[in-house]
Structures are given as structure tokens and as C-alpha cells.
Amino acid sequence: MPTPIGHSLAGAIIYALSTKGKDLLKSWKWLAVCVLFAALADIDFVPALFGRLDIANHIHRHMTHTLLFAVIVSGGAFGVLKALRNPRSLRYSAVIFLCLASHVFLDMVGKDFRPPIGVPFLWPFVRRSFKIPVDIFLNLHKDTYGEIFSLYNVGVLAREVIIFGSILLILAIVKLGYASPKRESHAEGVVAKARRRKGEKSGDSFRYGTPTQRK
């Protein structure tokens, strides 16, 4: 299953998909929001930071790795944005939902050896875990702190960086390419030309009058 870094990169990909090319290198706050919410589900692993790795492994991939959690958090974000009268509250909350849901989906396409296998994304309505039979990502070893910082986990992280980083790089090149000044000037020229043609047509109508006027 992807590490928090892998999920953060997935959030960056969603950011790139939801942002116009010309704003790709400007909306840093929105990038931070997408990255944060894409990795938020792993907040249940926080006890490991306080020496309770056993508790973290026990509660990990449960309540926060569900569709209900994604709906509640994104719905809360929508309420806050609406209260602040943000005109894009619906769009922003929808992207936040995608970031949260991406975490659950990506965890379902990674190797998992710790029962229950998969994630309970339909909890509490369906009390079982689900796993897609495709292993794109490797399983992170985290039974001990020594395993967490092992060379094996470095390889797991490197694999994720290569996969997500490649997708992100391609998106950035494509989006920034379409947003280049040359392309923008060409698009502006096409629009200006169309407006001139429209103006000429309206001018001809004014000059010669309508068929009724000519009679």
C-alpha cells in the first residue's frame, strides 16, 4: 500500500488535473490542500509517532479509510467554504472528496499481508474489507521501527515516487505546454480574427440595411 508520500503525490496529480495550465505554478495553497487531504486518511497512524506502534498498526486502515469518512470531511469543507461565501465551494469540496477517495482506492491496489486484507471502504454499512486483485504498490513493512526505516521500505518509496512522479511530470509538461505564451497568443489571435469577421458582417448589415429596409 502506498506510503503517505505516495498519497501526497497522488494529491498533487489531482491538483494538476483540477487546475488550469496557466495557474499550475501559482496556486500553491490549493496544491497544499490537495496534498493534505490525499494523505489525511493515514492520520490514524499518528500513535506511532508517540511510541505506540502497536496501537497504530491495530487501528490503521479502518474508520478513516472509508467512503463515509470522505463524504463527512468533504461535506464539512463544503459547509466551511459556503459559510465563507466562496463562489467555488462546490468545486473545491468535490476535488477534496476525490483526494480523500483516491487514498482508499490506492490502498486497494497495493499488496497487503496484514489481516483483514484490504480496506473497509463501505464501513459501517458493510462490515468487511475490500481488495482489488491488482498489486501496483508494494506492502510497507512497519511491525517495528527498524522495519519502517529499512532499505526495503526505501525501495517501496522509490517505486511510488517513480510511478506518481512520472505521471505528475507528464501532466505538468502537457498543461504548461498548452498554457505557453505562444499558444495563448495564437488562441487570442484566432478569437480576435473571429470577432473581426463578426464585426464586418454586422457592418455590412448596417451599411446595406435589412431586406425590408432596402425595399
pTM of the model: 0.80
DSSP code for 205 = H
- Write out pLDDT tens, residues 36-45: 999 999 999 9
The more confident residue out of 215 and 8 is 8
Is 82 within the bounds of a domain? yes
pLDDT at 190: 58
Omega before 2 within 30 of 0, i.e. cis: no
Distance of CA 120 to the CA centre of its chain: 21
Lowest mean pLDDT among 96-105, 144-153, 169-178: 169-178
Number of domains in the chain: 1
Read off the pLDDT of each residue in 66-70 and give the average, rounded to a whole number. 97
Q: With 80 as the cut, is the pLDDT of residue 167 above it?
A: yes
186 inside domain: no
Under a CB-based contact definition with an 8 Å cutoff, are residues 138 and 110 in contact?
yes
183: Cα within 13 Å, side-chain hemisphere: 9
Radius of gyration for the alpha carbons in the chain, expressed in angstroms and rounded: 25
Distances (CA, A) of 184 to 139, 187, 195: 45, 5, 16
Does some domain include residue 89?
Answer: yes
Confidence of residue 214 (pLDDT cuts 50, 70, 90): very low
Inside any domain, residue 190 = no
pLDDT single digits (tens) 54-63:
888 888 888 9
Domain assignment present for residue 207? The answer is: no
pLDDT tier for residue 206 given thresholds of 50, 70 and 90: very low
Residue range of the domain that includes 11: 4-178
Task: State the pLDDT at residue 158.
Answer: 97
